Structures are given as C-alpha cells and as structure tokens.
Structure 1
C-alpha cells in the first residue's frame, strides 16, 4: 500500500470558512446585541472592518450586504431601510439553539416523562397482560411463549389470549410553557446586559419546542409597566424600555394563557432580575422605583399562590446577585412551591434547557 502526501489545501478539504461565512457569523452575533437592528449591526461591522480588516479583495462589506440580500437574509424597503427577513429570524433561533445545546453539561433530548406507565415510545423491562388495542410492536415474545409452554407443555402446545404479555412504556406528556421576560430598565442597568441572554434563550427555546416537542406549546410574555404577549417572529427584536417591573401583571397574563391551554402539565419560566417595582390598583399604577415595596411584593406572592392552586409551577431564573433580591425570589418560590436558579448571564440558557428537557412531573391532573 502506498500513500501520497501533498501540501494542505484549505479549499479542497473544506477546512477554512469562506469570507462570507465568517462575516455572516459575526453579523448574527451582532444582531443578538442590537435586538435585530440590521442597520446598527452593519454599522458596527463597518467600524470593526476599518479597525481589524475583516474583509478582503474578494468580498468587501458592500459585496457582503448584496450577498445577504441575494440569499434572502436582508431586505430593503422603498425608503431604503434595511431589515432582516423571516429567514434570518429562523437562522437566529437555530443558532441560539445550537449554541445552548453545545454548552449543556448534562441531559439529553427526549420527551417529558412522568413516573406513570402508559402510552409512550420507550419500552420498559416490566411487562403486563395484553389488552385490546395494545401496539403489537410492544409484544414480549419470550414471555408470551413461556406462558403458553407453562400452561400446556410441549406436546400439546397452543396459544391463547391469556398468554400474551406486552412491555410497559413510559407515559409521555405534553407541556404548556409560558416564558416571561423582564423588559424593565433594570435589565440593562449598571453596565450589565441582561436582556441579550434572555432574548437568546427565548429564541432557542422556541426553536427547541417547534422542532423537538411539537405537542408542547410555548407562549412568550414580556413585562414592564404592564404585560403583553410576544409572537415567535417578534423574539429577535425584544428590547428593554423605560419601564418599571410589573411582575404581577406578567403572572396574571401567563395564567390567562395557560388556562386556555389543554395540556395537562403547565409551567411558567420567569427570567428576571427579581425586583418588582409597580402594579395596578383600581386602574392606576402604584410604583416604587426602589423596588420590593411591601404593597407590591404581597400582590406578586398572591399570584404565586394562585398559580400553585391552579397546578402551575413557576421556575424563576434569577440573573442578579443582590442577596436582597434573591431573598424575594426565595419567598416567591416557597409561595408557589416551584423552583429557582440563581444563574450567571452566561449560564442562563444552560440552566433553563436542563430544567425544561429533564422536567418530570410527579402528578398528572
């Protein structure tokens, strides 16, 4: 056997990304930080190109923009405003999903399981007597034949309905999830960008559910002075505003949504820095910018208790390290008997995905 060695050819062996691929990767990253503002992302790229020489003779920044339009990632209206397209929105969701899955320390993809046996796809070693309507592929052939032999012996062997046994399976359940995202001004205070990882996590979770859990539902609720629903196509553009934090309104909106869902298992994922600072009383806003006002906090805790009574588990993802704020999250969790994670910004997606994928409910109502 002979081997022929030659100089490494990047293009031939596909080892090096093209200039477009490198620029597109950077463009997607910048879109995460600009809340989907294509013009601002391209402006940043221009500055980076001038400083670090990102482009080459084969593709300048103008060529890159034209290629984005040609491939359907950008569009320009009659006034010359450049926007990303639905294709780009889908790319951002997939990219966010891949990024978070790459960082998962544990867990695997799969359906949400409960400790109950029933209709499902994964066989268990345990068996039971066959019942009319059971799937034939679950038949335990060895156990069935053994039953027949024990009953009749070898010489006069026959097979009856009572001999048949089938494997048990995991009971698979669907989950209705509402993801609440805090868009109050505190999410960008003190030089810490908390909204970008929250937005990225929402994009990834939406993609996960649409591609891996089609029977699950995901609704997004953004909250600031009030609360409102956000569609999947609007996720890349979520951004903070000059808002207070009306956590109570967010929980109320989430409960209203889950009440309409037919899924047996219902949960709320709450991404916040943990500082409720306003609510509505008799149609008027009561606010306290310092946060954790007793009048406001008690109303939020009341909502947590109502969620518990309605079988809705609240999982809070706390992205601030202030012990005073963390104490509020602990009280919220106790009132709901839910769960809480105190995650750093770069761990938010990992924590949320681990909880979602490995979620197991002890009761099915």
Structure 2
C-alpha cells in the first residue's frame, strides 16, 4: 500500500539509553527555563508522571546523579543551588544547531566561498600560466601535459616552465558578525513565547560560526531600553525584561563593535518580534508602544 503509516512515538524504540533520552528533554527544558536547573528538573518530573519516562530500574534520582557524575550539573554550595556547567552550555548550543540546521537537504558545499582567486579548497574552472611562488599542488597536470605536447610534440616530449598551467582556487575569507537579540517585554507578550525560539536560533548560529568558521568573530548584543554585549556562554540564561524595544541603541552598539574589527566583511543579524518603540534622548527615554512612531523610526 502506497502512503504513510503513523503510530504512537515510543522513546524506548529510539535506540538511545535512558540517560540520553532524558538528557535530550532536560537540555530542551533548560532553554525554556533560562538555565534554571531546579525548574527544569521540576518540569521533567511532571513529564515523567504523565508519560512514564523512567521505570523501576532507572529513576529520576539516577538521572540527576548521572548528570553530576558526567559533569553536566554541579552544586553551588555558596548559593545553595544547582547550576549547569560549561559542558551543558555547549551541549545546549549543539542541540540547537542540530535542531535548526540538522535537517537541511544536501546541497553545494560551502565555507564562506568567494569568487576571488586565492588559497582555498574550492577549485575554480579558470587556469593561468605558472608564476614563481605557485605551489606544486596547484599545477593542473592535464593542461600542462597538453601544452607540452602542443609546444614540443610527441617524439621529443619535454615539459618546461612555460608549459605549466595553474588551476585557481577560490579564496576563503573571514567575516565579523554581530548578533542582536531583542529581550523586550513583547517577546513574551499575550502568552506567546518568542524568546525561547530566539535563543535557540542564536545558540545554533553561534555554535555554527564558532565551529564551522573558527577564524570569524562573533559578538552578541541584547537590547531593550538600552543595549549591552553578552558572552556566548550567557545565551541559555537570557530572560525577557520589563523593557521597550530600543532598536537604535542595539544597532549603534553593533556598528560600534564592527568598527573596531579590522575585517572588511561585516554583517549584523537581528532577532526581534516587531517594531521599535523606544529611543534614548540624552538621559530621557522616549517611548511609544502604540503603533509606529515617526520620531522613533526616523532615527
């Protein structure tokens, strides 16, 4: 029969261990709780009650112990609370990357490819005569042998420097990126959670850039009434505040950061849910949440 067959999802058939199954859920919940381990574990317990994620052989206490043993969480004795470790922070970013980019279809490979000749591993169809300083691996031997046959004949085959042809490769450049994230109150307004998807996209992008393009620079800017930089490791902990949306402040800080970067390739990504509603004029905040304000948008 042609078509699709649907059935209930059974996590026990996924091939993962009980710990890995719970870890997937735990890292997802940490994104929703802004890194609050206690709240995430409480949610996980509620899910366990409803969906029977654990059993008599492996309980939630075993999972918590294993989290500590494997270095995902640690006890903060000074504050009397449990917190996640840098290992968990990176794990959250990796899982966000897999969630957002993991199902892309196969397409042309890339790595900041440009169409300028230079050192790289993307072969260009263009060739040119050999020049002093060219590397051996750049020589196109097929074209070079062809030139030698044409220039010297088959009977007395020789290859000289003038016969050599170089296969160009496309130069791969570096890029400086600033990622702006809106943390104004509207990101959770009317009961709609927009900040969690925003954090997932931000973590996925940061993990992609830091792993795939390690020579690039990435700066994170959050903005509400004001704008300020944060570290990549702080992304899981971002929370919405009682702020308006001062897009101008975010863009000004982003451009100021990029001005200090010597790289000529610069870009800004902004994650926001809507219109700007705030300006800072001197020490005073000018705010208007009721539609587009010409005074705000003209800046």
- The Cα of 1:155 is off from its aligned counterpart by 3.6
Query: Which residue of the partner structure matches residue 119 of structure 2?
Result: 119
- Single out whichever of 76-85 and 97-106 deviates more from structure 2: 97-106
How far 1:109 moved relative to its partner? 5.0
Partner of 1:224: 224
Maintained 8 Å contact 1:148/1:158 = yes
The 5 Å alignment of 1:16-27 reads 16-27=15-26
Distance between the aligned counterparts of 1:205 and 1:58, measured in 2?
39
Question: What residue in structure 2 maps to residue 275 of structure 1?
Answer: 275
Shift of 1:15: 5.8
Q: What's the counterpart of residue 60 of structure 1?
A: 59
How far apart, CA to CA, are the structure 2 residues paired with 1:107 and 1:192? 34
Q: Is 1:176–1:261's contact at 8 Å kept on the other side of the alignment?
A: yes
Give the SS at the match of 1:122: strand
CA distance in structure 2 between the partners assigned to 1:36 and 1:166 by the alignment: 53
CA RMSD of aligned residues (A): 1.7
Alpha-carbon distance in 1 for matches of 2:292, 2:153 = 76
Structure 1: how far apart are the matches of 2:133 and 2:179? Answer: 38
- What are the Cα deviations for residues 79-137 of structure 1, in whole angstroms up to 9, with x where unaligned? 42011110100111111111112233565552112232222211122211112222211
For normalisation by structure 2, the TM-score amounts to 0.90
Considering fraction of residues, name the structure with more helix.
1
**Structure 1 residues 211 and 108: alpha-carbon distance in aligned structure 2, compared to 1, 3 A threshold:** farther
Partner of 2:99: 99
Pairing 1:141–2:141 present: yes
Q: How many residues align structurally?
A: 286
Alignment match, 1:303: none
* Structure 1 pair 48–152 and aligned structure 2 pair: CA distance change class (3 A): closer
> Secondary structure at 2:254's aligned position in 1?
helix
Query: How far apart are 1:183 and its partner, in Å?
Result: 0.5
Matches within 5 A, 1:182-193: 182-193=182-193
Measured in 1, the distance between the counterparts of 2:68 and 2:168 equals: 53
Pairwise CA distance, 1:52: 3.0
Once residues 72 and 259 of structure 1 are traced to their aligned partners in structure 2, the CA distance between those partners, rounded to angstroms, is 39
Corresponding position of 1:199: 199
In structure 2, the residue matched to 1:255 is 255
| Partner Cα separation in structure 1 for residue 206 and residue 108 of structure 2 | 17
8 Å contact from structure 1 (residues 123, 138) kept in 2 = no
Q: Distance in 2 between matches of 1:265 and 1:39?
A: 42
Q: 1:24 to 1:281 in 2, by over 3 A?
A: same
The SS at the match of 2:53 is: coil
The gaps in structure 2 that reach 5 residues or longer are: 1-12
Query: C-alpha displacement at 1:43, in angstroms?
Result: 1.0
